Structure 1
Amino acid sequence: MISFWEKESFMQYHLIVIGSGIVGLSTAIEYKEKYPNKRVLILEKGILPSGASTKNAGFACFGSLTEICDDLENYSEEFVLQTVQKRYNGLQRLRQRVGDKNMDFYAYGGYELICKEQLFYLNQLHEVNDLLSPIFHQKVFLERGFKTPRFGFDDHQVKELLYNPLEGQIHTGKMMTALLKIARSKDIEILTGIEVKQLNEESKNVLITTDKKLEFKAEQVAVCVNAFASKLLPQYKIQPGRGQVVITKPIQNLPIEGTYHYDRGYYYFRNVGDRLLIGGGRHLAYEAETTTEFATTTQITQPINELLKEVILPGVDFEIEQEWSGIMGFGDKKEPIIEKLSDKIAVGIRMGGMGIAIGSEVGHELSNLI
């Protein structure tokens, strides 16, 4: 039961954004910058942002060579180029908004480990570099030559190493803290621990029903819940994908610095100071990992540990300090959905595991739709 005063002051807005991840915050911030006098509210079902925005590996990347080669098998060159461009634009927009220092952005560069079975991808190296030249005006993927002494990788498994000087890493907790601070500085209201259960369009507003028996009204609604979209809007067939991540305790003289991709990007690892963070392995159990349940399983973490011991850190003593998971959103197309569901409701979902790269760009485009 709410009072007249609460109904007047806390329940009616010009725009309500559902989801406080990168997309939701970016959408709200850009809308408020255009309309500073309008009331904006963000509703988040978790106490912290749910999904993947604060649970990912912190890669500021736009695609490895093998991923782009695989995409060229399934999509046109124009589509692949547009996809990379959108990712790169999103990263630049994020850096400009947050500031590199505020999210520990380090341009260490990125690497891709190529095993014997994947050496054929190198035949497309020049083709892919030429394709990407209109965006970057330089060679993106460079053959470094595999140097075991420097990195310590197992040379029975790793046969070549590619280097991408344009890739970086970030601290996603600091990134989200900075975005939240920006949003609040613009008088954007944020309520956490409230799950939206239903949207009903009325003549002038959208009625938003929540699990707390509170009903909000807004002239416009932006749905930015990515992997969880199908629960609220069943017409969108978004497939959740759980990504499991582990991080070690500090490792003395860790030889690894930067971001790394392995086995066509199915595994990814990086340093976090003198710790090593690694995630992936979803391809080992696609059906089991098509879930919105936050959990880690030995079916995934055990192969990750074996990869650490046998390929990445052979002969190095390490201990796992923490495990966690994040939920990504996928679909039948490798591009985000940014569209108006109606005159009053717009959606920005299906990040395809690239939320850091494209989230700010999706928020930019979504705010222009509203």
Structure 2
Amino acid sequence: MLSYWEKTHFLKYDLIVIGAGIVGMSTAIQYKLKFPQSSIAILERGVFPFGASTKNAGFACFGSLTEILDDLNMMPEEEVLALVEKRYQGLLAIRKVFGDETLSYQDKGGFELITSQEVSALDQMNRINKLLMPLFGKDVFSVEKNIHHYGFGKDVLHIVRNKFEGELDTGKYILALWDKCQQLGIRLHTGAEVIRIDGQQIHVKEPLTNDVIQFEALKIAICTNAFAKRFFPELDITPGRGLVMVSTPMQNKIPWEGAFHYDKGYVYFRNVVGDRLLIGGGRNLDFEGERTETFEVNSLLRTYLEKLTRTIVFPDQKVDFEMEWTGIMAFGESKKPIIQRVSENIGVGVRLGGMGVAIGWQAGTELVDLL
């Protein structure tokens, strides 16, 4: 049951964005900047963005050495190069728009741990540096000369440094997007679960009464990543859950800085404020079990990350974890994001392949151009 005021002022917009994560807010902001007189609303079913936007690890990365080599086994060189460029340019864009201080961006580099399983990748490093040279103007990857001070386990034979990667505060990035939306007069409706889309009509379930509220928009942007398949089953989207854990403050100061990758990027860790270890990933141990839209913690992955912490990251040290959470990402047969029109007035910007921080803003740019 809606009031006269609600029906008159809150239901009709020029653009409605479904999903208030990185892509959704990026799309709304850039549409408003391009069309200042437009009315825009964002519909979000959660209290916070539902998915991975506030649940990621804060890595400002575009691909480790072994990740890029793995991509080259499945994709042509030009596609891999285009993907790296999109990710890197996306990171440069958000740093320019919001500023490093606002994002708490740290330019301390990315690092990959190399064990006997990956040591052959070092033979390909010069080839990859040459491939990436047109984008960066200098070598991206180099081998660290002295790795003993890192204190990693004996299985770590080498460390490859990526001088162009960094890390940021995920929460501050979302706050910056929220602030920009507010400054531009973009309305954000939380607790607004979209149950159906019919042309320009968007049907939303009211959480307290279960009544259906009907919104209307000239243009609609679907930015719900893995959950977009609920509206368009034909899209090549597979959900992928990611686990992240954060320790209590370490007794000894952590001897390294930067964003670290392990096992072709499936595991990642970093030092967060207060000498806490943040570690996550491991879904390659149970791809099938992690193809889910539920947010439970997979005990197999938790045990695996705890073991890696004891044997690789801080061998023989006691590390207690006090936080854990999961986020839902989206993957598919291709690593390219899906940014396309699905009807005359509806566009989608989804399937970011776990790289939402890097390509979320750029995905919004492309989606606005389509709309």
Same fold (TM over 0.5): yes
Once the two structures are superposed, residues 127-156 of structure 1 have per-residue CA deviations (whole angstroms, 9 ceiling, x without a partner) of: 0000001110011000113522x111012x
Return the alpha-carbon distance in structure 1 between the equivalents of residues 186 and 147 of structure 2.
50
Return the alpha-carbon distance in structure 2 between the equivalents of residues 118 and 40 of structure 1.
48
Once the two structures are superposed, residues 185-242 of structure 1 have per-residue CA deviations (whole angstroms, 9 ceiling, x without a partner) of: 00000000111111101xxxx0000122111000000000001111122121310000
Match of 1:168 in 2: 166
Match of 2:48 in 1: 48
- Cα distance, 1:5 vs. partner? 2.7
Indicate the SS of the match to 1:33.
Answer: helix
Q: Does 1:101 align with 2:101?
A: yes
Return the alpha-carbon distance in structure 2 between the equivalents of residues 226 and 289 of structure 1.
16
Match of 1:344 in 2: 345
Match among 184, 189, 192 for residue 190 of structure 2:
192
Amino acid at match of 2:37: N
Return the alpha-carbon distance in structure 2 between the equivalents of residues 146 and 82 of structure 1.
33
- Cα distance, 1:318 vs. partner? 1.9
Identity of aligned residues (%): 46
Amino acid at match of 1:2: L
Indicate the SS of the match to 1:182.
Answer: helix
Return the alpha-carbon distance in structure 2 between the equivalents of residues 269 and 211 of structure 1.
39
Q: Does 1:183 align with 2:184?
A: no
Match of 2:258 in 1: 258
Return the alpha-carbon distance in structure 1 between the equivalents of residues 34 and 242 of structure 2.
35
The answer for unaligned runs of 5 or more in structure 1 is none
Match of 1:237 in 2: 236
Indicate the SS of the match to 2:145.
Answer: coil
- Cα distance, 1:3 vs. partner? 2.7
Scaled by the length of structure 2, what TM-score is found? 0.97
Return the alpha-carbon distance in structure 1 between the equivalents of residues 109 and 236 of structure 2.
35
Return the alpha-carbon distance in structure 1 between the equivalents of residues 141 and 35 of structure 2.
42
Amino acid at match of 1:189: R
- Cα distance, 1:94 vs. partner? 1.3
Amino acid at match of 2:245: V
Return the alpha-carbon distance in structure 2 between the equivalents of residues 80 and 233 of structure 1.
27
Return the alpha-carbon distance in structure 1 between the equivalents of residues 141 and 153 of structure 2.
22
Amino acid at match of 2:333: D
Indicate the SS of the match to 2:317.
Answer: coil
Return the alpha-carbon distance in structure 2 between the equivalents of residues 118 and 192 of structure 1.
45
Larger CA deviation: 250-259 vs 276-285: 250-259
Indicate the SS of the match to 2:197.
Answer: strand
Q: Does 1:312 align with 2:313?
A: yes
Match of 1:208 in 2: 202
Match of 2:209 in 1: none
Q: Does 1:295 align with 2:293?
A: no
Return the alpha-carbon distance in structure 2 between the equivalents of residues 88 and 154 of structure 1.
31
Indicate the SS of the match to 2:177.
Answer: helix
Scaled by the length of structure 1, what TM-score is found? 0.97
Match of 2:354 in 1: 353
Check conservation: 1:146, 1:159, Cα contact below 8 A: no
Return the alpha-carbon distance in structure 2 between the equivalents of residues 185 and 330 of structure 1.
33
- Cα distance, 1:286 vs. partner? 0.8
Q: Between Structure 1 and Structure 2, how many residues are aligned? A: 364
Amino acid at match of 2:300: Q
Give every structure 1 segment of 4 or more consecutive aligned residues whose post-TM-superposition deviation is greater than 4 Å.
Answer: none
Return the alpha-carbon distance in structure 2 between the equivalents of residues 216 and 368 of structure 1.
23
Check conservation: 1:45, 1:193, Cα contact below 8 A: yes
- Cα distance, 1:311 vs. partner? 0.9
Check conservation: 1:145, 1:162, Cα contact below 8 A: no
Once the two structures are superposed, residues 36-83 of structure 1 have per-residue CA deviations (whole angstroms, 9 ceiling, x without a partner) of: 111000000100011111101100000000010111111111001000
- Cα distance, 1:316 vs. partner? 2.1
Match of 1:221 in 2: 220
Distance 1:146 1:112, change over 3 A: farther
Once the two structures are superposed, residues 93-138 of structure 1 have per-residue CA deviations (whole angstroms, 9 ceiling, x without a partner) of: 1112221111210001110000012111111100000000111001
Return the alpha-carbon distance in structure 2 between the equivalents of residues 199 and 311 of structure 1.
49
Return the alpha-carbon distance in structure 1 between the equivalents of residues 203 and 247 of structure 2.
42
The answer for unaligned runs of 5 or more in structure 2 is 207-211
Match of 2:73 in 1: 73
Amino acid at match of 2:305: I
Indicate the SS of the match to 1:214.
Answer: strand
Return the alpha-carbon distance in structure 2 between the equivalents of residues 62 and 266 of structure 1.
13
Return the alpha-carbon distance in structure 2 between the equivalents of residues 331 and 315 of structure 1.
39
Return the alpha-carbon distance in structure 1 between the equivalents of residues 317 and 239 of structure 2.
35
Amino acid at match of 2:339: I
Match of 2:363 in 1: 362
Return the alpha-carbon distance in structure 2 between the equivalents of residues 194 and 340 of structure 1.
23
